[in-house]
Amino acid sequence: MVAAMAQKTTKTPLDLEYATRSVPRYTSYPTAPHFDTSVTAEIYRGWLAGLDPTDPISVYLHVPYCRTICHYCGCHTKGARKDDPVIDYAEGLVEEIRLLGEAIGRRLPVAHIHWGGGTPSLLPTESFRAVVKALRATFDILPTVEHAIELDPRTVREDLAALLAESGVTRASLGVQDFDPAVQKAIGRIQPIETVERAVAALRGAGITAINFDLMYGLPHQTPETIRRTIELTHGFAPSRIALFGYAHVPWFKKHQRLIDEAQLPGAAARFALEQTARSALAEFGYEAIGLDHFALSTDEMAVKAKSGELHRNFQGYTTDDAGTLIGIGCSSIGKMHQGFAQNDPDIGRWRRAVDAGRLPIAKGKALDADDRLRADIIERVMCDYAVDVDAVCAAHGVTGAAVADAFERLIGPARDGLVEVDGAKLRVTEVGRPLVRIVASAFDVYLARAAARHSVAV
């Protein structure tokens, strides 16, 4: 193993060429672009049948509909002005849950449920109840379950809050983004503060007290002053967790993002200043920084687990969910188990036809080998803790550090540039390196290294 020592640096992350490198967000390893059709519905059926009935699992349900599409949205969703397609979709979810129950062959305990989207609260009351009933009929929902849902505050009224509480929901994430009217206009998401007030009051009134806010930086018209004001107003609501996402502008992939005026988007330096302003305002208001983009009050489970090194990372980002198995339900959802990843068809029509034909709607995936599992664990610790004892993780996997010696070669540059300190087999991402933690994590990614090698041969 090659040890590399960090040197003192006065550079900011922006001065480094790494800032412009494209690296995965490591919500999984291997990352989704490496999934292929080798994982079929039949293979997944075998994985499901082999699950340990004593191990609590997690369930993710995807609802790919919203009333209107926000200009900035990068999520897998589409507009539905009427309820009909959403009702139809919910019937597909119920059928998929039944198929999963059949394939698993027994009732597994469920410790976490997460509804994402899109806007899952768009499901009409009876449809929502039907899906929850199907979950309860198929799985043993533990009394301690964390049942979370992503909500558009514009859809939250007292009746919805009551339905969620009755369904066992314990945590709600509200898409707030930014409170500034000029920013809201530019991103196609008009949401006066009174709307957020009404949503939070309805949820708290119904007993759903664990509240998260999603905020974004890098949006048109944002300035350090406006983002600070958004944080001040956010603080007034005292959400226990906040996610602060950097706006990902990919108009070639998400065509509706062309509605965003690129001339008004902040450049790299301005984006960095916005993030730093938001970060220090959040610290001032008592929020602890967690990983790349999360913040939590010190009493929140996420802050507690971050301190004890028990934080995890999954497709939703940072999570307290430590279940070894995640079952994805709905189009595009990704399931994860010891054997590998399996992703449902992202196309709503194809997903539905598979379910109606009694087939698990798997489109692709990735079977994991021992090396994938080892590197996934190391990458997760780097992303969550900004530090890892590589030898300790290797020992837990029954190998020595020699198994990932290639990564230490790739860390020489980042260590020289002050992103990471390497002390034997122990890594620590420096303060300067934190915004670039994905660069450090990527040193362990053999798929990225192979692609880079191919690329350099090609040119």
Among residues 28, 51, 86, 150, the one that binds ligand SAM under rule CB under 6 A: 150
Q: Are 428 and 411 in contact (CB under 8 A)?
A: no
Q: Please give the residue ranges that form the binding site for ligand SF4 (CB under 6 A).
A: 66, 69-70, 73, 75, 77, 117-119, 152, 175
Question: Considering the rule CB under 6 A, would residue 101 count as an interface residue with ligand SAM?
Answer: no
Which of the choices ligand SAM, ligand SF4, none does residue 4 contact, using the CB cut-off of 5 to 8 A by kind? Answer: none
Minimum distance between the CB of residue 427 and ligand SAM, rounded to whole angstroms? 28
In whole angstroms, give the CA distance from residue 150 to residue 171. 9
| Residues in region 350-369 near ligand SAM by CB under 6 A | none
In whole angstroms, give the CA distance from residue 171 to residue 112. 11
Stretch in the footprint of ligand SAM (CB under 6 A) among 1-9, 51-59, 111-119, 348-356: 111-119
Residues within window 227-246 making contact with ligand SAM, judged by CB under 6 A: 245
By CB under 6 A, residue 293 contacts ligand SAM: no
DSSP letter for each residue of 26-51: -SSSS-GGG-BTTS-HHHHHHHHHT-
Residue 248 interacting partner from ligand SAM, ligand SF4, none (CB closer than 5 to 8 Å by kind): ligand SAM
> Which of residues 101 and 116 has its CB atom nearest to ligand SF4 in the complex?
116
Shortest distance in whole angstroms from residue 176 CB to ligand SAM:
7
Which residue lies nearer to ligand SF4 by CB, 13 or 117? Answer: 117
Residue 119 in contact with ligand SAM, rule: CB under 6 A: yes
Of 69, 60, 67, 62, nearest in space to 89 by CA = 62
Rg (CA), the chain: 22
Q: Residue 345: left (phi > 0), alpha (psi -120 to 50), or beta?
A: beta
Length of the chain: 459
Contact partners, residue 282, CB within 8 Å, separation at least 6: 231, 242, 244, 289, 295
The Cα 314–Cα 312 span in angstroms is 7
Residue whose CB is less far from ligand SAM, 66 or 427: 66
- Strand, coil or helix: what is 293? coil
- Interaction between residue 430 and ligand SAM (CB under 6 A): no
216 touches which of ligand SAM, ligand SF4, none (CB within 5 to 8 A by kind)?
ligand SAM
In the complex, the smallest distance separating the C-beta of residue 77 from ligand SF4, rounded to whole angstroms, is 5
Tokens 């029954």 locate to 398
Q: With respect to ligand SF4, which residue has the nearer C-beta, 180 or 372?
A: 180
d(CA 63, CA 286): 34
Q: Name which of 175 and 361 has its Cβ closer to ligand SF4.
A: 175
Give the CA dihedral 183, 149, 328, 215, nearest 10 degrees.
20
Q: How far is the CB of 80 from ligand SAM (least distance, A)?
A: 13
Does residue 117 bind ligand SAM (CB under 6 A)?
A: yes
At closest approach, how far in Å is the CB of 71 from ligand SF4?
9
What residue 247 binds from ligand SAM, ligand SF4, none (CB within 5 to 8 A, per partner kind)? ligand SAM
99 binds, among ligand SF4, ligand SAM, none (CB under 5 to 8 A by kind): none
In the complex, least distance from residue 152 CB atom to ligand SAM, rounded to whole angstroms: 4
Does the protein bind ligand SAM through residue 401 (CB under 6 A)? no
Site membership for ligand SAM, residue 248 (CB under 6 A): yes
Q: Whose Cβ is closer to ligand SF4: residue 69's or residue 439's? A: 69
Q: Report the alpha-carbon distance of residue 33 to residue 158 in Å, rounded.
A: 41
Cβ atoms of residues 326 and 59 within 8 Å? yes
Contacts of 96 (CB under 8 A, 6+ apart): 329, 330, 355, 360, 361
Measured at the alpha carbon of residue 317, what is the angle toward residues 313 and 322, in degrees to the nearest 5? 35
Sole binder of ligand SAM in the list 74, 109, 224, 346 (CB under 6 A): 74
DSSP 349-365: HHHHHHHHTT---EEEE
* CB-based contact 259:71 (threshold 8 Å): yes
Hey, which residues does 365 pair with through a beta bridge? 36, 342
The Cα 84–Cα 68 span in angstroms is: 15
Report the partner that residue 69 touches, choosing among ligand SF4, ligand SAM, none (CB closer than 5 to 8 A by kind): ligand SF4
Among residues 51, 59, 75, 206, which is the contact residue for ligand SAM, using CB under 6 A? 75
8 A C-beta contact, residue 434 and residue 389 = no
Q: Which does 214 bind (CB under 5 to 8 A by kind): ligand SF4, ligand SAM, none?
A: ligand SAM
- Between 45 and 254, whose beta carbon lies closer to ligand SF4? 254
The answer to whether 337 and 47 have CB atoms below 8 angstroms apart is yes
177 lines the binding site for ligand SAM (CB under 6 A) = yes
Q: Between residues 218 and 335, which has the closer beta carbon with respect to ligand SAM? A: 218
Contacts of residue 77, Cβ cutoff 8 Å, sequence gap at least 6: 64, 65, 66, 69, 117, 118, 119
Rounded to an integer, what distance in angstroms lies between the CA atom of residue 32 and that of residue 24? Answer: 9
- Footprint of ligand SAM (CB under 6 A): 66, 72-75, 116-119, 150, 152, 175, 177, 214, 216, 245, 247-248
